[in-house]
C-alpha cells in the first residue's frame, strides 16, 4: 500500500528533492498547496510519477481560473489555501475529476474543514507553497512534452511486446518440433 512506503518529492520548477518522508507528511504537503500538479513523487527515486497520479493524495480537483484556464489537479486543502491567498474566490468553479461534477468553491466549502484540520506547523525542510500562476503557453508546452513522453513509452512497450511475441512463437515452434 502506498501509505506504508517512504516517499520522495521532486519539485518541477527547480528539481529539488525532499525526502524520504512518510506518506502522511506528503499528504499534508499536498493539502497545503506545497505539491503542484507537475511535481513528481517516488518511493524509490528511480520510478517517478506526477503527483496527481498517486490517488491517495486526493489531487482530484481542477480549479477553473477563467473559462479557458484551469489549474490542477489539486487537493481541497490547496483550493482552500488559494482562496485564503486571494488567488481565486469562492465564486470560482472547481471540477471534481473523479465524477466530473462542476461546482462553485463556496458549494464545497464544507469539505475544507476535514481537509485542513491538522493544524500542521511547517518544518524548515518543506517545499514552498505552489502558487497558481498559470501561463497558458507553458502549460501547452508541458502537455505536448508529456504527450511526447507517453508516445515514446508506448512505442517502446509495443516494440518490447513484439519482441516477446516473437520469442514466444519461436519457443512454441521449437516445442512442437521436438518428438
Q: Residue 80 class from Cβ within 10 Å (0-12 exposed, 13-18 middle, 19+ buried)?
A: buried
| Joined grid coordinates for residue 77 | 486543502
**What is the total count of domains within the chain?**
1
Output the DSSP codes for 74-104: E-HHHHHHHHHHTSS-TTSEEEETTT--EEE
Q: What is the pLDDT of residues 116-172, one digit of tens each?
A: 444 444 344 556 555 555 555 666 677 777 788 888 889 999 999 999 999 999 999
In a domain, 158, yes or no: no
16 in any annotated domain: yes
In a domain, 141, yes or no: no
Entry pTM? 0.62
Q: Is residue 167 part of a domain?
A: no
DSSP secondary structure string for all residues of 2-31: GGGSEEEEE-TTT--EEEEEEHHHHHHHHH
User: Which structural domain, as residue segments, surrounds residue 70?
Assistant: 2-134
pLDDT digits (tens, 9 = 90+) for 47-59: 999 999 999 999 9
Structure confidence at residue 87 (pLDDT): 84
Domain presence at residue 154: no
Amino acid at each position: 500500500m502506498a501509505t506504508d512506503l517512504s516517499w520522495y518529492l521532486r519539485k518541477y520548477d527547480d528539481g529539488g528533492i525532499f525526502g524520504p518522508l512518510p506518506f502522511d507528511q506528503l499528504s499534508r504537503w499536498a493539502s497545503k498547496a506545497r505539491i503542484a500538479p507537475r511535481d513528481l513523487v517516488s518511493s524509490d527515486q528511480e520510478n517517478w510519477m506526477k503527483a496527481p497520479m498517486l490517488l491517495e493524495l486526493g489531487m482530484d480537483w481542477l480549479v477553473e481560473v477563467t473559462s479557458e484556464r484551469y489549474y490542477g489537479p489539486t487537493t481541497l486543502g490547496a483550493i482552500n489555501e488559494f482562496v485564503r491567498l486571494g488567488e481565486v474566490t469562492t465564486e470560482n468553479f472547481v471540477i471534481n475529476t473523479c465524477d466530473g461534477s462542476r461546482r462553485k468553491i463556496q458549494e464545497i466549502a464544507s469539505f475544507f474543514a476535514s481537509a485542513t484540520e491538522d493544524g500542521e506547523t511547517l518544518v524548515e525542510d518543506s517545499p514552498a507553497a505552489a502558487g497558481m500562476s498559470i501561463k497558458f503557453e507553458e502549460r501547452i508546452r508541458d502537455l505536448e512534452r508529456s504527450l511526447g513522453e507517453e508516445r515514446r513509452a508506448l512505442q517502446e512497450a509495443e516494440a518490447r511486446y513484439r519482441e516477446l511475441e516473437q520469442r514466444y512463437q519461436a519457443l512454441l515452434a521449437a516445442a512442437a518440433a521436438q518428438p
